[in-house]
Amino acid sequence: MALKVGVIGTGMIGQDHIRRLTKVLSGVEITAVNDIDVERAREAAPYNAEVFDTPQALIESDNVDAIVICSWGPAHEEQLLACIAAGKPVFCEKPMVTSEESAIKVIEAEVAFGKRLVQVGFMRRFDSDYRQLKRVIDSGVVGTPLIYKSVHRNASVPSHYISDMCLNDTLVHDADISRWLLSDEIVGVEVRYPRRSNVGGNDLKNPVIVLLHMAAGAIVDVEISVAIQYGYDIRGEVSGETGVASLPNRPATVVTDMNGIRQAMPEDWRERFIEAYDQEFREWIIAAEQGTATGPSAWDGYASTLTADAALRAADSGKFEKIAMIEKPALYGEQHAMAAE
């Protein structure tokens, strides 16, 4: 009685999720795969899984209870709408969609359906360090959050990575986790470029400082650096009225030798967030078995799209760029308790 899952998109991330769903997690089996490249789908398909010619056919198959979307971004809207039309829970990798209009269509469809079906792949929310940090914030031990500092450093980026991707692809993780940690929405964005790093070989506007202005007034101060060389360094610290709470360093053997007292840094996001990815799907499976979804929602995907758009505008204008959201449907929970009076 395992959950029967169909996977759309069997590229690198799709293959990794297939591995996760077959080798790591319990209560689930992959019964269907689809990819724009049929041969690749065939190779990625686990034993007994059917290879479908189209996403639509996979989504509608009686042998598929729930869907995992790992296709490229522009294809997501149609696939998500088909899942909702079929009433099937769906996990969708980032970006949920690639435009505000698409995001609103997905929200409207889900609201019309009347129950959450969509979970978007913001895996940081499933990381135990972030979860502890959120519990500390919500406990009130540091008082009302006033500033959140997010640091996002990659050792390096692939050669096709361009400056806009700092804001379009990288920033969205910091933006989503900030919204979640602070239980608040982003209402405006500013972007500042410090002196450019000459390291990394590509002509990137790197690093970048982004200020996210939250509805309740807190400011999120983000540093993104994508060619820091030394590792994958993710930090987060909230300054509250009466205290400060920070993500810890990752556990690593403390070595004392001629290089000092030292701990290794994670090499990349795979190493850093491997358990978060597992947990993300563990919780998705549990909800999907109930025919619904929890975790990051279509609303969060919508907010992410708006933030990336505003950040790109702010990078061009050098000014504060406002974000205006539609009214939040009740399906996605009440307006946040911490909103400004």
Which residues, numbered 204-263, are part of the site for its own copies (CB under 8 A)?
207, 209, 211, 214, 216-219, 221, 223, 225, 227-231, 233, 239, 241-263
Q: Binding its own copies by CB under 8 A: which of 81, 104, 147, 162?
A: 147
CB of 32 to its own copies, least distance (A): 18
DSSP for 71-110 reads S-GGGHHHHHHHHHHHT--EEEPSPS-SSHHHHHHHHHHH
Q: Identify residues 18-77 at the interface with its own copies (CB under 8 A).
A: 22-28
Binding mask 95-134 for its own copies (x = CB under 8 A): ---------------------------------xx--xx-
> Closest by alpha carbon to 97, among 235, 276, 304, 279?
304
List, in order, residues 6 or more apart from 50 with CB less than 8 Å away.
Answer: 31, 32, 33, 61, 63
**What count of other Cβ atoms lies within 10 Å of the Cβ of residue 56?**
16
Q: Binding its own copies by CB under 8 A: which of 264, 271, 317, 333?
A: 264
List, in order, residues 6 or more apart from 123 with CB less than 8 Å away.
Answer: 273, 276, 277, 280
What is the C-alpha separation between 129 and 114, in angstroms, rounded? 33
Q: Which stretch binds its own copies (CB under 8 A): 72-80, 169-177, 203-211, 291-299?
A: 203-211
CB of 65 to its own copies, least distance (A): 17
Q: Is the bond into 207 cis (omega within 30 degrees of 0)?
A: yes
Name which of 200 and 295 has its Cβ closer to its own copies. 200
Q: Binding its own copies by CB under 8 A: which of 72, 141, 290, 322?
A: 141
Q: Does 150 bind its own copies (CB under 8 A)?
A: no
